């Protein structure tokens, strides 16, 4: 069970790392709000095409929890990605990488404050190790560079995105017991509907950029991988090992973003990249090992060390 969760969560963060790269590449090729709307429109249509029978079977349960599911889709899918894509128009990938690394700590804090979930010392130490690896990558091997970063409009938007997605992760514990296809159809459809006013705002303010060929290609990527596959894998990962332990894997997003930038943008792979990857993987292993030990100690099962 744990091994399956690790594979799913690593693939999730790989695809999300690609999402950040795609969002940066999309600047000037498609406006951020339209990019968000197109992403969820196509994702919802594709999921509905293959999962409609499941949704019909689950509809009595879905209807009972429709407002919760709609809120999850709006916050975790629409608001987070609209803020991320917009932020990339105003701030650097370094800033957004550092800010996304704050999600696990927010998840830890929310679970403790709201549900009095235990956090083992090893989990905290593992988080700090992985955060150091993220900071090393984000600062290009010189931690003193972090001091020079300023909080601008893009950084503020990214902080909102981090807060929103952390809340979404914690709130997944309340989702109803329905098939993943039904869940994803409702979440993506909700994201599409709630993203429309943002695109309408772009049109009204003459900020709309219709997609060119590059914009369409990037849309195809974010629909298939970050939108559909990654979200499914993340939801399943949270189910298997809990929000705290799954949330820690988010620290892999900037690592994978860096590696994809090397491959796609031709940037040089430096020694600090290798060190950062070792720190992040080491931190995840330490936190996960500590979480499993605590779960076994208290006899709470796989997701107990939330």
* pLDDT per position as a tens digit, 165-190: 989 988 988 999 898 889 999 999 99
Torsion sign (Cα): 96, 102, 104, 106? negative
Show the CA angle centred on residue 10, arms to residues 272 and 33, nearest 5°. Answer: 90
| Residue 150 pLDDT level (bands cut at 50, 70, 90) | low
pLDDT of 149: 59
Global pTM value: 0.76
The phi, psi pair for 196, rounded to 5°, reads -60, -45
pLDDT of 54: 94
* pLDDT of 304 above 60: no
Q: Which residues contact 296 (CB under 8 A, 6 or more apart)?
A: none
**Least-confidence region, from 10-19, 226-235, 255-264:** 255-264
192-247, pLDDT tens digit by residue? 999 999 999 999 999 999 999 999 999 999 999 988 888 889 888 888 888 767 87
* pLDDT of 164 above 50: yes
Helix (H, G, I), strand (E, B) or coil at 150: coil
Measured CA to CA, the distance from residue 107 to residue 95 in angstroms comes to: 20
Section 48-59 average pLDDT: 94
Measured CA to CA, the distance from residue 33 to residue 199 in angstroms comes to: 5
Helix or strand run (H / E) with residue 116 = none
pLDDT of 306: 43
């Amino acid at each position: 069970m744990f091994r399956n969760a690790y594979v799913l969560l690593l693939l999730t963060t790989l695809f999300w790392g690609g999402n950040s790269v795609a969002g940066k590449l999309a600047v000037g090729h498609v406006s951020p709000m339209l990019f968000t709307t197109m992403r969820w429109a196509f994702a919802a249509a594709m999921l509905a095409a293959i999962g409609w029978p499941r949704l019909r079977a689950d509809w009595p349960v879905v209807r009972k929890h429709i407002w919760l599911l709609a809120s999850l889709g709006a916050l975790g899918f629409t608001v987070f990605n609209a803020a991320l894509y917009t932020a990339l128009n105003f701030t650097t990938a370094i800033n957004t990488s550092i800010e996304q690394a704050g999600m696990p700590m927010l998840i830890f804090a929310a679970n403790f404050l709201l549900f009095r979930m235990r956090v083992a010392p090893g989990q905290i130490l593992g988080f700090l190790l992985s955060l150091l690896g993220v900071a090393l990558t984000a600062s290009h091997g010189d931690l003193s560079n972090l001091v020079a970063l300023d909080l601008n409009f893009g950084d503020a938007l990214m902080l909102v995105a981090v807060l929103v997605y952390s809340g979404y992760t914690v709130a997944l514990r309340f989702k109803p017991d329905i098939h993943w296809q039904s869940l994803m159809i409702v979440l993506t459809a909700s994201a599409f509907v709630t993203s429309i006013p943002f695109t309408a705002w772009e049109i009204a303010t003459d900020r709309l950029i219709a997609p060119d060929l590059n914009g369409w290609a990037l849309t195809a990527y974010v629909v298939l991988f970050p939108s559909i596959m990654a979200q499914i894998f993340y939801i399943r990962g949270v189910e298997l090992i809990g929000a705290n332990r799954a949330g820690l894997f988010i620290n892999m997003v900037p690592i994978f973003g860096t590696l994809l930038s090397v491959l796609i943008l031709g940037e040089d792979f430096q020694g600090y990249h290798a060190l950062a990857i070792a720190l992040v993987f080491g931190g995840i292993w330490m936190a996960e090992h500590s979480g499993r030990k605590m779960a076994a100690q208290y006899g709470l099962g796989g997701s107990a060390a939330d």
